[in-house]
Chains A and B, each alone.
Chain A
């Protein structure tokens, strides 16, 4: 019995000692917050845009100081899904207080993991981020409707994936971090939507040149929230 108590005390001690590190993703359209999905906004071109799905993988996250990684969470792959409450908030147990200037992470899943067979957790095929008629994870999914989109029901669907050349769409993101325990990373969908002509490009559903071009916008849409 006594030994149990000691164990409990130890666990308690560890917990208070460890530092919860939180990274929160927030979706925006320009200055407008998109708190819940689906969400309708006035587009910059006078159209209306309804965003229904925003899902992407964050992987190989590193907290860096002067370019050197000071902390990399054990959990390597995270699915951020704005349709599921709390999934846009990642909590890490950093064990000790860390000082960092920069976040470095990938949007998507690296090629080794893409070829590794069936995997579980965030990578389980049931989460709907794996292509089935060919192989590979979908790194980033954005779906919705816009009056500017000439497709059926004005719908657009961007499923961005591809892990082999010349259609590798994995993108590394580096962004300066605010030095605090709770960090917020904003994603500006306006930048993304303005980079494409919805009248002609409304469906990207496989690794292709269009997908590569789309993914090249990722480094410009993620940035640290200024407080």
Chain B
């Protein structure tokens, strides 16, 4: 009897030990704040991350098996949708907003241009069930996954449960997206003291600190707040941003501040992709600001940048490009598991 109990006890200890070993620590760069994502509720393991990655690249998530998350969020563009001002979904539908770049999502407290989504886990539901994005229903996605030859095994490895649920599907997608950390740009090397800015970049950094950092705050290059940066309303889209959610008029024309990291690759810019190049963005901030009652405070006073200053600011912005992020093999199409 005693021996049996001992066996059971050892078994439990072993199980616990294995579970601990499976957890992958989430590494936070020293100069980053603490992440907001609660990893206690969704522990990272390599099995879960792999599952999330496969889901992210699988067309099965859409109604007619043509669109995956990666259709609009491509790893070579820091997970933005390059060349598409407005996102391009199922049956060639055109959406109403530009697909944002995805990175450093563990630090992001709120999602979508208007903050419609409050938690990374719930984000995937929006495109899956949007009639012009993936046109599916999560219950149907789960039943397709359950019938597939590969997923029950992958879910078992990740969650010790081959019965697939909406919760586990969403948590696996989060696990993968949480690993999308970009912190190896030239800027990061300078902050860590391994490299130095050249003269142009240094001047650009000073200009950035002067004019841009109140909203695009270091080290994430966004404060994740909702601001009106003086864009004219596009009357064909009539997108009032944050006001759509809060229904408060003082939130009119406010959008979530996007990060400037990897900005070189995430064109076109702004919530509707109206600007194709960074030069047009700089021209907007220096002379193109449209006044409206909700215009954010830091932009009330006109910014005037000379041609040289624009060049310098641009060269600083290019130090935020993280090629290791773009070419990270762990983020790309999981060829070893999925066929196209």
Beta-carbon nearest neighbor of A3 in chain B: B1
Is A153 close to B, CB under 8 A? no
Please determine whether B125 and A132 come into contact, CB atoms closer than 8 angstroms.
Answer: yes
Please determine whether B119 and A117 come into contact, CB atoms closer than 8 angstroms.
Answer: yes
- In this complex, the interface size class of chain B, counting residues with CB under 8 Å from chain A, is 20 to 34
Please determine whether A132 and B128 come into contact, CB atoms closer than 8 angstroms.
Answer: yes
Is B41 close to A, CB under 8 A? yes
Is A182 close to B, CB under 8 A? no
Please determine whether B125 and A130 come into contact, CB atoms closer than 8 angstroms.
Answer: yes
A3 to B130, CA, bound (A): 57
Is A151 close to B, CB under 8 A? no
**Which of A115, A116, A208 has the most CB atoms of chain B within a 10 A radius of its CB?**
A116
Task: Select B41's contact among A117, A130, A134, A135, beta carbons within 8 Å.
Answer: A117
| Interface residue count on the A side (C-beta < 8 Å) | 22
Majority secondary structure of chain A interface residues (helix, strand, loop or mixed) = loop
Please determine whether B138 and A126 come into contact, CB atoms closer than 8 angstroms.
Answer: yes
Is B38 close to A, CB under 8 A? yes
Known A117-B41, A117-B42, A126-B139; contact A134-B116, beta-carbon cutoff 8 A: yes
Q: Smallest Cβ distance from A161 to chain B, in angstroms?
A: 13
Please determine whether B170 and A125 come into contact, CB atoms closer than 8 angstroms.
Answer: yes
A135 to B120, CA, bound (A): 11
Please determine whether A118 and B130 come into contact, CB atoms closer than 8 angstroms.
Answer: no
Q: Smallest Cβ distance from B310 to chain A, in angstroms?
A: 38
Interface 1/0 per residue, A103-145 and B, CB below 8 Å: 0000000000011111110011111101011111000000000
Q: Smallest Cβ distance from A157 to chain B, in angstroms?
A: 16
A3 to B4, CA, bound (A): 11
Interface 1/0 per residue, B82-105 and A, CB below 8 Å: 000000000000000000000000
**Which of A126, A136, A208 has the most CB atoms of chain B within a 10 A radius of its CB?**
A126
Q: Smallest Cβ distance from B164 to chain A, in angstroms?
A: 9
**Which of B42, B142, B167 has the most CB atoms of chain A within a 10 A radius of its CB?**
B167
Is B186 close to A, CB under 8 A? no
Residues of A within 8 A of B120 (CB): 117
Known A128-B139, A132-B129; contact A116-B167, beta-carbon cutoff 8 A: no
Please determine whether A126 and B166 come into contact, CB atoms closer than 8 angstroms.
Answer: yes
Please determine whether B167 and A135 come into contact, CB atoms closer than 8 angstroms.
Answer: no
A127 to B139, CA, bound (A): 7
Is B245 close to A, CB under 8 A? yes
Is B254 close to A, CB under 8 A? no
Residues of B within 8 A of A120 (CB): 165-168
Residues of B within 8 A of A119 (CB): 167
Interface 1/0 per residue, A19-52 and B, CB below 8 Å: 0000000000000000000000000000000000
Beta-carbon nearest neighbor of A124 in chain B: B166
Please determine whether B38 and A117 come into contact, CB atoms closer than 8 angstroms.
Answer: yes
Task: Select B122's contact among A3, A117, A208, beta carbons within 8 Å.
Answer: A117
Beta-carbon nearest neighbor of B117 in chain A: A135
Q: Smallest Cβ distance from A226 to chain B, in angstroms?
A: 39
Residues of B within 8 A of A123 (CB): 167
Q: Smallest Cβ distance from A31 to chain B, in angstroms?
A: 36
**Which of A3, A124, A127, A135 has the most CB atoms of chain B within a 10 A radius of its CB?**
A135
Please determine whether B1 and A118 come into contact, CB atoms closer than 8 angstroms.
Answer: no
A127 to B174, CA, bound (A): 20
Residues of B within 8 A of A3 (CB): 1
Residues of B within 8 A of A117 (CB): 38, 41-42, 119-122, 170-171, 174
Known A3-B1, A133-B130; contact A118-B116, beta-carbon cutoff 8 A: no
Is B126 close to A, CB under 8 A? yes
Residues of A within 8 A of B245 (CB): 134
Residues of B within 8 A of A208 (CB): 247
Known A117-B41, A118-B121; contact A124-B167, beta-carbon cutoff 8 A: yes
Residues of B within 8 A of A114 (CB): 118
Interface 1/0 per residue, A160-183 and B, CB below 8 Å: 000000010000000000000000
Known A124-B165, A125-B138, A134-B117; contact A118-B171, beta-carbon cutoff 8 A: yes
Please determine whether B142 and A126 come into contact, CB atoms closer than 8 angstroms.
Answer: yes
Please determine whether A125 and B166 come into contact, CB atoms closer than 8 angstroms.
Answer: yes
Q: Smallest Cβ distance from A102 to chain B, in angstroms?
A: 33
Please determine whether A125 and B126 come into contact, CB atoms closer than 8 angstroms.
Answer: no
A29-85 residues with Cβ-Cβ distance < 8 A to B are none
Beta-carbon nearest neighbor of A134 in chain B: B116
Residues of A within 8 A of B119 (CB): 115-118, 135
A sample of 12 inter-chain contacts (CB < 8 A) reads A115-B119, A116-B119, A117-B42, A117-B122, A117-B170, A117-B174, A118-B122, A118-B167, A120-B165, A126-B166, A134-B117, A167-B247
Residues of chain A at the chain B interface (Cβ within 8 Å): 3, 114-120, 123-128, 130, 132-136, 167, 208
Top 3 A-B pairs, shortest CB-CB distance: A117-B121, A118-B121, A118-B170
With A133-B130, A134-B245 given, can you name 11 additional A-B contacts, CB distance below 8 Å?
Answer: A115-B119, A117-B122, A117-B174, A126-B165, A126-B166, A127-B139, A128-B139, A132-B128, A132-B130, A133-B126, A208-B247
Residues of chain B at the chain A interface (Cβ within 8 Å): 1, 38, 41-42, 116-122, 125-126, 128-130, 138-139, 142, 165-168, 170-171, 174, 245, 247
